[in-house]
Amino acid sequence: MSERFDKKPDELVQIDHKPPRKSWMDPKVEFRRGFFNYSANPKSVEYLGLPYARKWQPTDADWKLPPNWKEIILDGLRERIHRFRSLQLFMDICVRCGACADKCHYFIGSGDPKNMPVMRAELLRSVYRKEYTAAGKIMGEMAGARELTVDVLKEWFYYFFQCTECRRCSVFCPYGIDTAEITMVGRELLNLVGCDIDWITTPAANCFRTGNHLGIQPHGFKDSVEFAIDDLESIIGIKTAPSINRKGAEILFVVPSADYFGDPHYFGFLGYMALFHEIGLDYTFSSFASEGGNFGLFHSHEMMKRLNSKIYMEAKRLKVKWIIGAECGHMWRVLHQYMDTMNGPADFLEEPVSPITGTKFENAKTTKMVHIAEFTADLIKNGKLKFDPTRNDAYKVTFHDSCNPARAMGLLEEPRYVLKNVCNYFYEMPENTIKEQTFCCGSGSGLGTDENLEMRLRGGFPRGNAVKFVKDKYGVNMLCCVCAIDKATLPAVVDYWAGDVGVCALHELVGNALIMKGEKERDTDLRGEPLIGKEGGK
Amino acid sequence: MNIFLSLIAVLVLILIAWVGAGAANLQFIFGMIMPIIGLMLFLGGIVYRVIKWARAPVPFHIPTSCGQQKSLTWMQSSKLDNPSSSLGVIGRMLLEVLFFRSLFRNTKMELKNGPKLVYGSAKYLWLGALAFHWSFLIIVIRHFRFFTEPIPFFVNFMSSLDGFFQIGVPVLYLTDALIVGGLTYLFFRRVVIPQLRYISLFSDYFILFNILAIVITGILMRYFTKVDLILVKQLTLGFFSFNPVIPEGIGSIFYIHLFLVSALLTYFPASKLVHMAGVFLSPTRNLANNSRMKRHINPWNYPVKVHTYEEYEDEFRDLMKGAGLPLEKE
């Protein structure tokens, strides 16, 4: 962490959810340290060919906007109103019933009234009313209309980068108004005048060039995989042999880059390799499609498409039959809801059939990409895997549904089915905090960095608090999840709000429990922690 | 402030009709012209809105999934909260439109000492909304007995059902009581709950007051001033047969009622009330979660600048070669 964060949870939790008496129409925001993200590095903006690359910071009085910034934004908004029915409809039909208000983790954790989803949308809606509706033009503020000013733009920047596009509000909205749609458009508009944040733009630029957000070059990717092969061998006593950029493999396996570079993701990566070795899967990695995650989603629809394109391109080039995607939240939002539309049709691939069980994945018949939890659940159901769940007995596990797999897909029972097979102690968090009502980690949609740490911890409060509940009640000490951003950011959040609870990948627990042909007697789990009963070592 | 302004605005509307149709004797304007304008703007406006929405494409397949997806055959999927078929979508939409499914999920967050967050059940908004909307619909249907001759059976049936308990003379309609209760609740929550007061606009209060005033004038006519229904029906039948008649002696309160309805119809398409039509078009609800089974087409899917594998290999060829990775071009 770049700066020390010394506020205690007791202090942070002094939250007043009562809004001020002052009208929300006043757009002035104070850019307080810990609550906002830094501007994009101009080099990354330029690399991606995006407009108005420049040095500026949100705390500057002058954002060095282009002279015709207002025209650019309003033209951009008009264009998007005609392109997205969702946007137009969501601008028109909100009745301000307030059902969404206390559903947002950022509102719960901060009490800032403009973090109520309805208000976040009103920030844009007020300008929409002023420009495009008769009532707004005639009645002005009385009809909830506001002029677009520099202060309004700054307010947009502040609040559209305080939304993680988690879609929890859209579950509760009687019209299904999805704030993610509004935030996505709001960010696109900001990007038109070069108001990008670095934590999104630089990973996107890396990804465009090297295929992954971290900017790992092909030889570096190969090193990572070889490192993992050695690590895994030292634990299970088997040398696995995954391939990279191999033509003619049956399956292309796409992971988020954090899986081979981040902790605790990495232990899940070892788990995948162990699993695929055990079933003898004919698969290859691609050093170019070395990222399933897509920070383009957090930037603009266009950037999402640009970054996603490599997956089908690589599948085609490597002549695989179909694709498996690893554990990652927003990656699956893109794969499930956007990829086929944007970069399909994938008519050069075959309908996915598990080579081990013969199961046809009918649910993925046009996109041709299967979630690894679906794949593994099918293997288990068909009795293809043998487990020793006692190897996970050190862990009392709870499962965090990641926003996108839960609310943009419905991947709820597959990971639970797998979990129940690989560990003996599994406990659910309270029902209003899981499945479609799950709470965001507070760091999604490109906001998982250091400079906005206080906001992230506040946003992570509902999740952290639910973890604390099961920790106190059942002694839970491990939070399992299927999202790379969760794995990167929840350790800090959970440590802050619950303490002494680890975070792990689903396939780390699979890899721990998996009994493999020819494996040595395991003394440790994939983390290198001694198994229960083996604490003394040899 | 918005509350008072909107209350005043509705009172002004009442005053206009009272003075206009009463003192100034402009019954023709308030009994014929205004309702015609209102009705035309309402119908035209709604059609315009719906066409405008419908013309905007749905580029991406973005349903909000609120239950288990359909994936493996042996795994029970949630057919209504996460439908994968058209039939499921119809079911989901019916639940949403008729029974406010999403609102039924509503919870209320409370931060307790500990700290401990709890999410209590909060069904009052759902209940209040159901009471209001259903009563409104039934009242509108009941009103068809003023517009039609002979009166269709379902209108009479609805009326007798509504007056099932046979309380008082004329019989008390349950919906009259429910709609007053519903509106009062919807108003008070806007005033009492601080977050709601913060987000509420002038128009939010205005609409509530307007509808409440319509309801109250209606109740006054039915139960208290006992408006002459024969005369009213002469007027309405004349209206709908394009043969305008303004009978003498209906009374100002009727014209106030009618003017408030005309006002509601007039601004309806320009207000948030279009949620009535819009809810059917919401892409997070009316699409099946089948985007991996069936390709969704985006009509404006324009080509974008991508980075190709060839460019990638060109940049990193030496490094790839050094690492022993396969190459397209040596």
Q: Measured between alpha carbons, how far is A525 from A510 in angstroms, rounded to an integer?
A: 11
Q: Measured between alpha carbons, how far is A496 from A11 in angstroms, rounded to an integer?
A: 12
Nearest CA in chain B to A104: B109
Q: Measured between alpha carbons, how far is A108 from B134 in angstroms, rounded to an integer?
A: 33
Residue where a domain terminates, one of A168, A195, A222: A195
Q: What is the ipTM of this complex?
A: 0.96
Q: Measured between alpha carbons, how far is A58 from A260 in angstroms, rounded to an integer?
A: 33
Size of interface A-B (CB pairs under 8 A): 321
Q: Check CB contact under 8 Å for A181 and B62.
A: yes
> How close B165 gets to chain A, by Cα (Å)?
32
Q: pLDDT grade, residue A4 (50/70/90)?
A: low
Q: In the prediction, which pLDDT does B166 show? A: 85
Answer whether B253's CB lies under 8 Å from B27's CB.
no
Instruction: Please indicate, yes or no, if residue A537 is contained in any of the structural domains.
Output: no
A81 at the B interface (CB within 8 A)? yes
- Given a cut of 60, whether residue A538 has pLDDT beyond it is no
Instruction: Please indicate, yes or no, if residue A397 is contained in any of the structural domains.
Output: yes
Q: In the prediction, which pLDDT does B176 show? A: 96
Q: What is the mean pLDDT of residues A421-445?
A: 97
Q: Check CB contact under 8 Å for B289 and A410.
A: yes
User: Closest to A170 (Cβ–Cβ): which among B81, B274, B284?
Assistant: B284
Q: What is the mean pLDDT of residues A3-32?
A: 91
Q: Which helix (H) or strand (E) holds A371?
A: strand A369-371
Q: Which segments of chain B have a pLDDT < 50?
A: none
User: Closest to B298 (Cβ–Cβ): which among A172, A341, A469?
Assistant: A341
Q: Given CATH 2.60.40.1180, say whether it is the number of domain B2-323.
A: no
Q: In the prediction, which pLDDT does A171 show? A: 98
Q: In the prediction, which pLDDT does A536 show? A: 66
Q: Measured between alpha carbons, how far is B180 from B209 in angstroms, rounded to an integer?
A: 11
Number of domains, chain A: 3
Q: Which of A86, A146, A310 would you mutate first to test chain B, the one with the most B CBs within 10 A?
A: A86
> How close B216 gets to chain A, by Cα (Å)?
23
Q: Are residues A154 and A95 in the same domain?
A: yes
Structure tokens at B292: 């991996």
- Given a cut of 70, whether residue A537 has pLDDT beyond it is no
Report the sign of the C-alpha dihedral through residues B283, B288, B293, B294, in that order.
Answer: negative
Q: Are residues A221 and A255 in the same domain?
A: yes
What is chain B's length? 330
> How close A530 gets to chain B, by Cα (Å)?
34
Residue where a domain terminates, one of A349, A381, A413: A381
- Given a cut of 60, whether residue A448 has pLDDT beyond it is yes
CATH of the domain at A465: 3.40.50
Residues of A in contact with B57 (CB under 8 A): 83-85
User: Closest to B194 (Cβ–Cβ): which among A19, A176, A435?
Assistant: A19
User: Closest to A377 (Cβ–Cβ): which among B72, B78, B117?
Assistant: B72
Instruction: Please indicate, yes or no, if residue A129 is contained in any of the structural domains.
Output: yes
> How close A344 gets to chain B, by Cα (Å)?
8
Q: Residue A112: exposed, middle, or buried by beta-carbon count in 10 A (0-12, 13-18, 19+)?
A: buried
Q: Are residues A404 and A369 in the same domain?
A: no
A17 at the B interface (CB within 8 A)? yes
Residues of A in contact with B283 (CB under 8 A): 85-86, 89, 176
Kind of pairing, strands A397-400 and A478-481? parallel
Q: In the prediction, which pLDDT does B162 show? A: 92
Instruction: Please indicate, yes or no, if residue A415 is contained in any of the structural domains.
Output: yes
Residues of B in contact with A99 (CB under 8 A): 102-103, 106, 125
Q: Measured between alpha carbons, how far is A289 from A302 in angstroms, rounded to an integer?
A: 18
User: Closest to B68 (Cβ–Cβ): which among A94, A222, A413?
Assistant: A413
Phi, psi of A449 (to 5 degrees): -125, -175
A247 at the B interface (CB within 8 A)? yes
Query: Would you give the end-to-end CA distance of chain B in angstroms?
Result: 75
Instruction: Please indicate, yes or no, if residue A520 is contained in any of the structural domains.
Output: no
Q: In the prediction, which pLDDT does B22 show? A: 83
Q: Are residues A266 and A136 in the same domain?
A: no
A91 at the B interface (CB within 8 A)? no
> How close B127 gets to chain A, by Cα (Å)?
13
Q: Residue A491: exposed, middle, or buried by beta-carbon count in 10 A (0-12, 13-18, 19+)?
A: middle
Q: Are residues A490 and A369 in the same domain?
A: no
- Given a cut of 60, whether residue A3 has pLDDT beyond it is no
Nearest CA in chain A to B93: A175
Q: Measured between alpha carbons, how far is A68 from A356 in angstroms, rounded to an integer?
A: 60
User: Closest to B65 (Cβ–Cβ): which among A173, A363, A410?
Assistant: A410
Answer whether A484's CB lies under 8 Å from A394's CB.
no
For A294-317, b/e burial (b = at least 16 CB within 10 A) is: bbbbbbbbbbbbbbbbbbbbbbeb
Q: Are residues A367 and A496 in the same domain?
A: no
Q: Are residues A403 and A277 in the same domain?
A: no
Which residue, chain included where needed, has tokens 């919870």?
B107
Q: Check CB contact under 8 Å for A365 and B106.
A: no
Q: Are residues A313 and A232 in the same domain?
A: yes
Nearest CA in chain B to A16: B111
Contacts of A347 by beta carbon, 8 Å cutoff, 6+ apart: none
A473 at the B interface (CB within 8 A)? no
User: Closest to B283 (Cβ–Cβ): which among A86, A305, A433?
Assistant: A86
Residue A399: strand pairing partners:
A480
Residue B120: strand pairing partners:
B108
Instruction: Please indicate, yes or no, if residue A205 is contained in any of the structural domains.
Output: no
Which residue, chain included where needed, has tokens 């439908």?
B83
Predicted confidence (pLDDT) per residue in A90-130, tens digit: 999 999 999 999 999 999 999 999 999 999 999 999 999 99
DSSP B238-252: HHHTT-----TT--H
Instruction: Please indicate, yes or no, if residue A37 is contained in any of the structural domains.
Output: no
A143 at the B interface (CB within 8 A)? yes
Q: Check CB contact under 8 Å for B325 and A222.
A: yes
Q: Which of B136, B195, B197, B296 would you mutate first to test chain A, the one with the most A CBs within 10 A?
A: B195
Which residue, chain included where needed, has tokens 């003619």?
A248
> How close A108 gets to chain B, by Cα (Å)?
8
User: Quick check: helix, strand or coil at residue A501?
Assistant: coil
Predicted confidence (pLDDT) per residue in B250-268, tens digit: 889 999 999 999 999 999 9
Q: Check CB contact under 8 Å for B67 and A436.
A: yes
Q: Are residues A263 and A308 in the same domain?
A: yes
Q: In the prediction, which pLDDT does B25 show? A: 81
Q: Are residues A250 and A374 in the same domain?
A: yes
Nearest CA in chain B to A370: B292
What 8-state DSSP symbol labels residue A383?
A: T
Q: What is the mean pLDDT of residues A367-372?
A: 98
Q: Are residues A403 and A299 in the same domain?
A: no
Q: In the prediction, which pLDDT does A2 show? A: 44
What 8-state DSSP symbol labels residue B152?
A: P
Residues of A in contact with B320 (CB under 8 A): 218-219, 287
Supply the mean pLDDT for chain A.
96
A98 to each of A410, B73, B269, B272, how far by Cα in Å? Answer: 25, 38, 22, 14
Domain range for A431: 389-513
Q: Are residues A369 and A478 in the same domain?
A: no
How many helical (H) and strand (E) elements, i.e. helices and strands, does chain A have?
Answer: 24, 8
Nearest CA in chain B to A207: B307
Q: In the prediction, which pLDDT does A248 show? A: 97
Q: Check CB contact under 8 Å for A96 and B78.
A: no
